[in-house]
Structure 1
């Protein structure tokens, strides 16, 4: 018998059903998974942290800050925008990027003191 499974089926139906009904809908979970997946790539996460610290930055600044090419940064910004984590606006010849409120909250939560201790 595997150590990660119960040897006896015993469901606390009232408690389990109460929890099951509070779970978000599948569509909501799918959108959240996409956002988390977008931040699961180190370069995109680095870009997001730069935007979190700098509020609004252009591709040139972001490329300099994270030490990557403008083309690579632009590629990752498109993916972050598709996931709903980044917005942009044109300022003359510049395109300025900023985090969406949800991305800002996600990064704020991931930098909380209790999250700093990395057990790995």
Structure 2
């Protein structure tokens, strides 16, 4: 049985995009992360060492978005998923949603998101 740690509305400024302006000027992204891991032992011991430390997930995702320059948010989402899966043997599966808060689309005031799910090998 597996449990899920959810991190939502992680706002980060990054430089992913197809257009040169996106890479040069950057834009805001929002990330929502779900990390499946067994939390049963931590629930019994109340000890941080017995669970996945989600602060690590926030820091890793934030750093990647700030420093990476991909063309597509699909690639950015996959890179975040890879980092989370590689960060700990406790992580069984992740779901990553990357949202462009203000995508450069004429006459469009909405958001665009990509959501992926990946499992540990």
Which bin holds the TM-score, normalised by the shorter protein? Answer: under 0.3
Which protein is bigger by CA-based radius of gyration? 1
Between structures 1 and 2, the one with greater helix share: 1
TM-score by length of 2: 0.23
TM-score by length of 1: 0.24
Between structures 1 and 2, the one with greater strand share: 2
| Higher RCO structure, 1 or 2 (CA under 8 Å, sep 6+) | 2
